[in-house]
Structure 1
């Protein structure tokens, strides 16, 4: 009789070493078809957020080669694109959660790394998921104006760069998963062996795919409708989660940055304030009373902010093009606008000639029929069509030509 070898490794231990006791997932909602359908909706939301975010970044920080090709019309263009940016990003949150739930069992696949190519694929997925979570979380905090990262974190630049990295990882992921995505779009019963079809049929005691997808769609639609009222007037009554109520604010318009936050006092704007216009054949120095005595122009233009809120308002003031003509500034000159605010990120703003010469571009003195308040930029502020709110400079003290 053969004696047992005490040094031999038991067969069950060998099996465990080869494949640890990982959890098994039998729900059919973790299949390729569900992942493909949810992923398609998520991809559409991410594409909309990326394209509109790119538009926003270009309008705020135009590259030199594009600066003089940005349109001033439609006047509501930025209001639409930035509202869509925030809305699509908000809708992507429940879609991403559903997508991650659908595919997370693959974290327990064995072996975890099958080859170098498989390792690179998993690395791209890590970058994609991390980037997507970062973009959605920081974007949501920014739309709520909850700047938990403080003043030292460059949100705009980081958000923009991570968006490119995330989209790059998404393109790689789509390329690698193209066969699986194609299978997901087809009828799965025609693609599976008969035994697997029978297994699927036997596991119908859980939530159906249709119910899961419908629930995800309702969740995405609900959070979108509940927040988009900050840019869509008709949905204000049902947008109970909107970070901003666009009907609340002095003169009927919300304020992002108050005069107090900008370090602007009433004494500073009333003590011999004059608008300086430099760089032309004639130097102008105009008091507010002299500006009010000039021909006044009215325009209904939206004020639209990067956080996603926007509202139409009625503005009245002096056409910027008229001021430039009075100062003898040529039509091909850009204009640098300097605020009384000294430390703000946009205290100095460059306005390209296309905006300067637009007939609706105003140095506004009145808002919704009343004199500007200090928080709204008294004694004078910029309002120009199709530009982000951060570039609608308040408390203007100097305008100078850039020839």
Structure 2
């Protein structure tokens, strides 16, 4: 049975140009995603700076924006190359086999990354696997396939452009349409990271309030009574004792891995001051929570952040006592850190190295 072959003409140069744009979007998405992974699971050689305080807010915003931009670019790329998927023979040469194989792997991995990434951005997980490691692993597959594909197609950039037939969308028109679609997609979603665009970002949250990803009820944290103590080394601090210590106030953002971010004014005790009062030498600090279970019930604060004067055990937000959902009686807030590592309902600080 003969498989019908699309008759629409498409310029290899158009496909190559879109492929370059897609490569840039995927490259940005991959690098910023890799940074986010290393910040949360740092290898020994990795050190993430504390300044500027909104650095993670920027990198994760770029991660989500470039991922969103990649969606129309990927669809346009597929539109320009799909007639070649029906060509016969299936394999003409080794480069041709690499081209076709890389396209299939790239499409599969890319759609997985973009679809699961969009679900993650909306905190909706209709699958059984754990999102972060799967997303991380498939990202390497997608980037590898993309590099192979670009290497095979690079010689096309040196060949003359094909003449566009009359009555069809011009090469320039198609590229402008694709670029415009990518720009609109980014504009519609980037408001979660860029507050002044929130009013026009119809697909992002428009709330100016500080969001809550995990409530106290979901974390199994009930009302905290007067018996609560913060353990720092051998010292124990009551809430009243923490409130009596010198306080620092700073405006710091919470930037979530899902892409949204929001700034607030936090007041609390610098972690380095608490370590000094407890007679503990600064180092990497394990921060433990009252949360009963879950992979984010504790976090490790790198020594660089632990020594930073703006890394706080916050007692107030925007001048008010912390609500329970935001971590009462105290929570960690540090510059340039993912929201999942800004541990709430803190009960212990322990230097681990």
TM-score by length of 2: 0.96
- Whether 1:360 and 2:336 are equivalent positions in the alignment is no
Matched, 1:42 2:22: yes
Provide the C-alpha distance between the structure 2 equivalents of 1:135 and 1:79, rounded to a whole number of angstroms. 21
Quick check: 1:321 aligned with 2:272?
yes
Offset of 1:212 from its aligned partner? 1.8
Q: Work out whether 1:274 is the aligned partner of 2:229.
A: yes
User: What is aligned with 1:149?
Assistant: 127
1:347 lines up with 2:297 in the alignment: yes
Deviation at 1:381, TM superposition (A): 0.1
Alpha-carbon distance, 1:272 to partner: 1.0
Q: Deviations over 1:46-70 (max 9, x none)?
A: 111111111111111101232xx32
Tell me, yes or no, if structure 1 residue 167 matches structure 2 residue 143.
yes
For residue 115 of structure 2, what is the aligned residue in structure 1? 137
- CA distance in 1 between counterparts of 2:71 and 2:152 reads 24
Name 1:254's counterpart in structure 2: 211
User: Within 2, Cα distance between the matches of 1:181 and 1:345?
Assistant: 48
Which structure has the larger Rg over C-alpha atoms? Answer: 1
Q: Distance in 2 between matches of 1:348 and 1:370?
A: 25
Q: Which residue number corresponds to residue 388 of structure 1?
A: 338
Kept in 2, the 8 Å contact 1:341–1:347? The answer is: yes
8 Å CA contact retained: 1:334, 1:351:
yes
From the superposition, tell whether residues 355 and 112 of structure 1 become closer, same or farther in structure 2 (CA, over 3 Å): same
| Residues 145-188 of structure 1: CA deviation (Å, up to 9, x unaligned) | 111124xx1211111111111111111111111212333xxx41
Structure 2: distance between partners of 1:112 and 1:367: 62
Q: Point out 4+ residue stretches in structure 1 off by more than 3 angstroms.
A: 115-121
Q: Does the alignment pair 1:224 with 2:186?
A: yes
**Where does residue 212 of structure 1 map in the other structure?**
174
Residue 325 of structure 2: which of 372, 375, 391 is its match? 375
Aligned residue number for residue 285 of structure 1: 236
How does the TM-score come out when normalised to structure 1? 0.84
1:120 Cα shift? Answer: 4.2
CA distance in 2, matches of 1:89, 1:385: 25
Distance 1:215 1:364 in 2: 48
Contact 2:11 2:171 survives alignment (8 Å): no
Shift of 1:123: 2.1
Inter-partner Cα distance in structure 2 for 1:78 and 1:276 = 29
From 57, 70, 90, give the equivalent of 1:79.
57
Q: Partners in 2 of 1:144 and 1:264 — Cα distance?
A: 24
Say yes or no: does 1:51 pair with 2:31: yes
